[in-house]
Amino acid sequence: MYNSGKVKSTRNHVPWKLAWHCVFSTEKEARDFERYLKTGSGKAFAYKRFVSVALKKDFLEGRKGSPKRKRRIPCPRTNLNILFMTSKEIRQKYLDFFKSKGHVIVPSASLIPENDPSTLFCGSGMQPMVPYLLGEDHPEGTRIVDSQKCIRTIDIDGVGDTTHLTFFEMIGNWSLGDYFKKEQILWIFEFWTKILGFDPTKIYISVFGGNEKYNLSKDEGAVATWKMVYKEVGIEAKVVEDSENYGMQDGRIFYYGNDNWWSRVGSPDNMPAGEPGGPDSEMFYDMGVEKKFHENSKHKDKPCHINCDCGRFIEIGNNVFMEYIKTKDGFESLPKKNIDFGGGLERIVMISQEKSNVYETDLFTNIINTIERLSGKKYDLEEDKVAMRIIADHLRAATFIIADDKGISPSNIDQGYIVRRLIRRAIRHGKKLGISEESWTKEIAKIVAHDYHEVYPELRKNVDFIIDAFKDEEEKFSKTLEKGEKMITGEIINGEQAFNLFQTFGYPVEMTEEITKEKNIKLSKNFKEEYKKAMSKHQDLSRTASAGKFKGGLADAGEETKKLHTTAHLLLAALRKVLGDHVLQKGSNITAERLRFDFSHPDKLTDEQKEEVEKLVNEAIKKDLPICCDEMTLDEAKKQNAMGVFESKYGSRVKVYTAGKEDYIFSKEICGGPHVDRTGILGKFKIKKEQSSSAGVRRIKAVLE
């Protein structure tokens, strides 16, 4: 069976008796191929896999009389005309395609938004591009393309089904006052049908149907271009209205109202004067009427259409045509019109690889295989599938967040709380699967880092930091997991009990809610309010208990302690200048004799780095900078880029201490403790010791001489 032989192809046939060992790397691959051929849906997958590998190795011949060349070959009896592509290939083909159209490929922005306190994570490909969409010049020009890392936390509790993801990649291209609708529609359709080989009869389109209140007309320009591209592939694209009430009506292009309008704040009614926005045009892929998604959904009694939530139609991308600006009288055309396209990579890969859900694609293959190995179970039973999906999604997301150069690690506030919540929910579901190996979560982190490091090099660079964070968090929670779950009993759980579970056993409130649902335990009527009240009471007690230490970890209010407390501000500013903006204060303890300061950083400081930090602090002392205190709202402090430590403990107004003058600001920090009036009285700063405090956290002990 596996003997070599000449591989031939003709226009309509590729023989299945192939040169197995010439095409496949191992006998196992060849046997898997043979096995797939014996199943209906497996045949298409196997054929694509063979053609893809064979083409790469130049084994398939071209037409008679022509040199060997890569080309599409129809699959016998399957009507298949697309090649199998890995997720890496799809991502890169998208970037390369738009590069060929004059775009500059830019790297993904950080998952932690820059100068945007309104959100914890970057949740869309568009988010880092907002300044440029609003008029700023992009340093790379007017045509940009990228694949952006994204995190959405709103649906964490929904993860476990076949659709929800916490971490995902958004491929996107932008025109900043350059090309517009016609070019975007032509190019994206070319990418779908010619580069990825998607069947154009499976692609459906939605467009903006107008808004009479604001005299915004239907997007007939987009419709005309869509009809043209469909006509070029032999499809008469019928335009349909009111599909929500009358269904598909043999349509190809569908008018919708505000569902196809984009602005940062939603519909035209929500937009303030000066806000840009415009119509958009979404693209959907038909997963197949024969699969009866609609008939088996809760929407079965309503007409099916492309915006239906039954699962038959999957959105693969959205073209936003930003062409208007809101005025006090309505809308006016923008002088420079922008294009913003975004498409979910995981969904696109799912369709390309002919899978029914994203967890069956090669993006998750190695992760699921590792979970199977750790648990001794297979991805077969539905209950086990749910647990495996939760583990795969949550630990993939946590790996990416911790890998970000901002130095996020599990904690009880902000991004750190989300990381903790993800890891601990994964640990619990690992226990349900019977995983008993210690520190098993790090094995998933290693797989994620391995699978993605070529695209996102920070995963390899920070892999030790990631592994340490996973090990530490798993060790903490594994000790209390079983005890905490035993406490969730009875007929009803109130918010105060949930907070006690969080304080005592480390149970995020969302996990308590999940467990009560599994055990059919009710939550009290005012559960959320009770939880918040208990947390507020705890914070008040913490503040009272620490009054003698002030808010900066001070042991007393003597002059020497004030000096070292002021020095801690200078130290944080110097560390960020030397090591980077990922450095954040993680804690401090200050006496009259010494300063102990914890900060986020994955690596030991070199001697050169320590010397540079000392030099910067001593220069700030020598300049005899004034220390000024201003009271303001927390939002105002954030706008001034003031550093903060434990944000959940701040009130509505805060004190901001600034070291420096208007023309030279060395540090600006939210703080409540006492400070000296000028840096000149501090003395000489000296680092005595630098060491690890915990996973991803370093500790400096220093003195003033």
Parallel, antiparallel, or unpaired: how do β-strands 330-344 and 167-176 relate?
Answer: antiparallel
DSSP state of 259: G
CATH number of 549-704: 3.30.980.10
Q: Please, are residues 280 and 209 in contact by the beta-carbon 8 Å criterion?
A: no
Integer Cα distance of 361 and 368 in angstroms: 10
- Give the pair of three-digit tokens for residue 238: 């019928």
At 205-231, the pLDDT tens digits run: 999 999 999 999 999 999 999 999 999
Q: Quick one: what percent of the chain has pLDDT higher than 70?
A: 83
* Averaged pLDDT for residues 633-655: 69
The answer for residues whose C-beta is within 8 angstroms of residue 518's C-beta and 6 or more apart is none
- Per the DSSP assignment, residues forming a β-bridge with 150 are 168
Question: What is residue 28's predicted lDDT score, i.e. its pLDDT?
Answer: 59
For residue 430, pLDDT beyond 70: yes
pLDDT of residue 84: 67
- The pLDDT of residue 330 is 92
pLDDT digits (tens, 9 = 90+) for 17-69: 333 444 455 555 556 655 555 554 444 555 555 555 554 444 433 333 433 44
Mean pLDDT of 323-335: 91
Beta pairing, strands 253-256 & 203-208: parallel
**CA 405 from centroid of its chain's CA atoms:** 14
How is residue 694 written in tokens?
């915990």
pLDDT value for 80: 40
Q: How far apart are CA 487 and CA 493, in angstroms?
A: 10
Domain covering 87-352, topology? BirA Bifunctional Protein; domain 2 (3.30.930)
Under 8 Å between Cβ of 54 and 23: yes
Mean pLDDT calculated for residue range 140-147 = 94
For residue 571, give the H/E element and its range: helix 559-579
pLDDT at 73 over 70: no
Q: Residue 32: what pLDDT?
A: 60
Query: Cβ–Cβ contacts within 10 Å for residue 540, how many?
Result: 11
pLDDT band at 505 (very low <50, low <70, confident <90, very high): confident
* Segment 252-309, tens digit of pLDDT: 999 998 889 998 888 999 999 988 899 999 999 999 999 999 999 999 999 999 999 9
Q: Please give the C-alpha separations between residue 670 and each of 494, 585, 617, 636, in angstroms, as whole numbers.
A: 34, 12, 19, 11
Whether pLDDT at 487 is above 50: yes
Confidence at 549, pLDDT banded by 50, 70, 90: very low
Whole-number Å distance between alpha carbons of 245 and 589: 65
Mean pLDDT of the chain: 84
74 pLDDT more than 60: no
**595: how many CB neighbours lie within 10 A of its CB?**
25
Radius of gyration for the alpha carbons in the chain, expressed in angstroms and rounded: 29
Residue 507 has pLDDT above 50, yes or no: yes
Selection from 121, 102, 120, 100 nearest residue 111 by Cα: 121
Q: CA dist 664 to 343, 430, 570, 571, 624, Å?
A: 44, 52, 13, 17, 12
Partner residues linked to 626 by β-bridges: 678
The pLDDT value given to residue 75: 38
- Quickly state the pLDDT bin for 554 (edges 50, 70, 90): very low
CA 214 to chain CA centroid, nearest Å = 35
Stretch 659-680: mean pLDDT: 85
CA distance readout (Å), 587 to 51, 509, 517, 572, 664: 57, 25, 37, 11, 27
Residue with structure tokens 């209010």? Answer: 557
Contact 475, 388 (CB under 8 A): no
pLDDT at 591: 80
Q: What is the pLDDT of residue 35?
A: 57
- DSSP class of residue 262? E
Q: How confident is the model at residue 571 (pLDDT cuts 50, 70, 90)?
A: very high
Crossing angle, helix 365-375 and helix 441-452, to 10 degrees?
160
- State pLDDT tens for residues 83-141: 568 999 999 999 999 999 999 999 999 998 865 666 889 988 888 888 888 888 888 89
Mean pLDDT within 380-404: 94
Residue 652 CB burial class (10 angstroms; 0-12, 13-18, ≥19): exposed
Tell me how far apart the terminal alpha carbons of the chain are, to the nearest angstrom.
81
Beta bridge partners of 170: 148, 344
Please report, for the chain, the start and end positions of each structural domain, with discontinuous segments joined by +.
1-84, 87-352, 364-476, 488-545, 549-704
Q: What are phi and psi of 56, to 5 degrees?
A: -60, -30
Residue 592: band (very low, low, confident or very high) from pLDDT cuts 50, 70, 90: confident
- Which residue carries 């950080």 as its tokens? 110
**By mean pLDDT, which of 167-171, 360-364, 469-473, 476-480 is the weakest?**
476-480
- What's the confidence (pLDDT) of residue 46? 54
CB burial string 104-120: b at 16+ within 10 A, e below: ebbebbbbbbeeeeeeb
Please, which residues bridge with residue 321 across strands? 339
pLDDT (average), residues 520-524: 92
At residue 243, the 3 state secondary structure works out as helix
